[in-house]
């Protein structure tokens, strides 16, 4: 596995500016090796789409969304199509006032323009002056942004995590609640209680989220709604569309169009 694409240009901790930036384009299918930073990172997808895997769960990042990654959290990026990314690195002092856990955030028009303007300055000019002031406004905006429902939390314990990892690999072959509990050598009641405790979701909700995540990946690669519905085991396209609309507020066909024009 090659070096993470921004390794050569990323700042080293400690760095004097509150925020530093780097931009790159990743080819479809690129998968980075697991790595962590001493500083926090905002992973902003401008176009394309990516999935970022961590021990806490997988985070789907479509266009004009960004993943906040706190310091020292190991992660790896997986690029589903050709993707333009802007990385903003936030030093530890400023990161303490921002979330301690990963979050997918909606990138407003204001934040997008602030990031664009900030990235136009050489890194040497971001310690003070206009770029530093723009960086401070970016940090203020990050504190205000709502999280988007694009997280798939993973259980921590062995058998339960193994069952969920199998489902991530093949969402269309999800076991029933009773079958999943039996694989973990638990009663259904104990299994549900453990699932809720470790993921914050019921088994049914988590299973639905797995399919929706895979649907987003397939949509981003240009697959049709009917093809995705069949591949993920829905009874038909209408059932898939209804589930998708309930989760994201738009139909699958409009998802990437709507989020890029918010």
Helices (H), the chain: 92-95, 109-119, 129-144, 158-169, 177-183, 188-199, 203-220, 225-231, 237-248, 255-260
Superfamily grouping for domain 19-144: Regulatory protein AraC (2.60.120.280)
**Is 59 in contact with 150 (CB distance < 8 Å)?**
yes
Mean pLDDT by 10 residues, the chain (262 residues): 41 68 89 90 89 86 87 90 90 87 87 91 83 91 79 85 89 89 94 92 89 84 87 88 84 69 50
Per cent of the chain over pLDDT 70 is 90
Q: Domain boundaries in the chain? A: 19-144, 154-260
- Measured distance CA(251)–CA(243) in Å, rounded: 9
- Measured distance CA(36)–CA(214) in Å, rounded: 25
What is the tens place of the pLDDT at every residue in 58-95? 888 888 789 999 999 999 998 988 899 999 999 888 88
Record: fold of 154-260: Arc Repressor Mutant, subunit A (1.10.10)
What's the predicted TM-score (pTM) here?
0.72
What is the tens place of the pLDDT at every residue in 123-139? 778 888 898 899 999 99
Please state, in angstroms and as integers, the Cα–Cα distance from residue 118 to each residue in 26, 41, 62, 176, 250, following that order: 21, 15, 21, 49, 32
């Amino acid at each position: 596995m090659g070096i993470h694409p921004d390794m050569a240009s990323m700042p080293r901790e400690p760095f004097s500016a509150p925020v530093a930036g780097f931009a790159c384009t990743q080819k479809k299918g690129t998968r980075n090796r697991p790595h962590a930073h001493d500083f926090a990172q905002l992973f902003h997808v401008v176009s394309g789409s990516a999935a970022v895997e961590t021990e806490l769960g997988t985070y789907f990042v479509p266009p004009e969304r960004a993943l906040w990654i706190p310091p020292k959290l190991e992660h790896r990026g997986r690029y589903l199509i050709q993707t333009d990314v802007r990385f903003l690195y936030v030093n530890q002092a400023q990161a303490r006032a921002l979330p301690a856990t990963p979050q997918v955030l909606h990138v407003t028009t204001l934040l997008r323009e602030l990031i664009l303007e900030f990235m136009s300055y050489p890194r040497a000019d971001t310690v003070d002056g206009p770029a530093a002031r723009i960086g401070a406004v970016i940090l203020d905006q990050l504190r205000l942004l709502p999280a988007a429902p694009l997280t798939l939390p993973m259980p921590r314990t062995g058998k339960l995590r193994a069952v969920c990892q199998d489902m991530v690999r093949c969402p269309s072959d999800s076991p029933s609640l009773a079958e999943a509990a039996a694989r973990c050598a638990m009663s259904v009641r104990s299994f549900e209680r453990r699932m809720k405790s470790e993921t914050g979701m019921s088994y049914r909700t988590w299973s639905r989220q797995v399919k929706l995540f895979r649907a987003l990946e397939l949509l981003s690669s240009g697959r049709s709604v009917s093809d995705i519905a069949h591949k993920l085991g829905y009874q038909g396209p209408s059932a898939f569309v209804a589930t998708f609309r309930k989760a994201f507020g738009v139909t699958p066909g409009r998802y990437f169009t709507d989020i890029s024009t918010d």
